[in-house]
Every structure is written in C-alpha cells, then in structure tokens.
Amino acid sequence: MRVTKRNGESEEFNQQKIYDAIMKSMQHGSGIIKPTIAQNIAEEIKEDFSNKENINISEIETAVFEKLISKKLSIDINLLRFFYLDFCWLE
C-alpha cells in the first residue's frame, strides 16, 4: 500500500510512523503514555486500509483521529499533526 503525501509524492505505508507520532503526542501533550493503545491504533489503521493500493495522508489523519476519540484519549491534535502528518510523511 502506498501513501500519497501532501507534496504529491508517495511512499510505502509505514505503521511505525503512526505509532511514533501517537507516542510523541502523548509524551508532549497529556503526559499519559499508553504504548499498547498507540500500537493497537497503528495496527488497526494498517488493517483498515489493507484492501487499498493507494491512500491519501488525509485519510490516515481522519482514521487516526477517529480511533483516538473512540478510545477516549485526550492528546493534543496539533501535536499529532506535527509529529505525524507534517513531519513523518513529508520526509
């Protein structure tokens, strides 16, 4: 599965980037760190999109936010955007 980044380039999906972004957001946001939840969300995202050949970063963004809300996690969404969406996928 390929991810189309904001700059139009694409790269192979990497669930570790989702995990890392959630963990950094937890550390720098609420301070409550739950690695198991971060890992579960990253795995769920991969599974949710496994039937697609190409996905857009905004699709991942929406799915991550929905998963965080469903798990009643309170992290700073702006930090998540910085660590994951803006930083990781624009490399």
As to burial, measured by CB atoms within 10 angstroms (0-12 exposed, 13-18 middle, 19+ buried), residue 90 is exposed
Rg (CA), the chain: 12
Closest CA to 71 of 24, 23, 30, 38: 38
> What is the pTM (predicted TM-score) of this model?
0.74
For residues 88 and 39, give the distance between their C-alpha atoms in angstroms, rounded to a whole number.
17
Q: Which pLDDT score, from 0 to 100, does residue 30 have?
A: 66
Q: Tell me: the pLDDT tens digits for 57-75?
A: 889 888 888 887 777 655 5
Q: Which pLDDT score, from 0 to 100, does residue 87 have?
A: 46
Q: Which pLDDT score, from 0 to 100, does residue 6 have?
A: 82
Q: Which pLDDT score, from 0 to 100, does residue 58 have?
A: 85
Residue ranges for the chain with pLDDT beneath 70: 29-30, 72-91
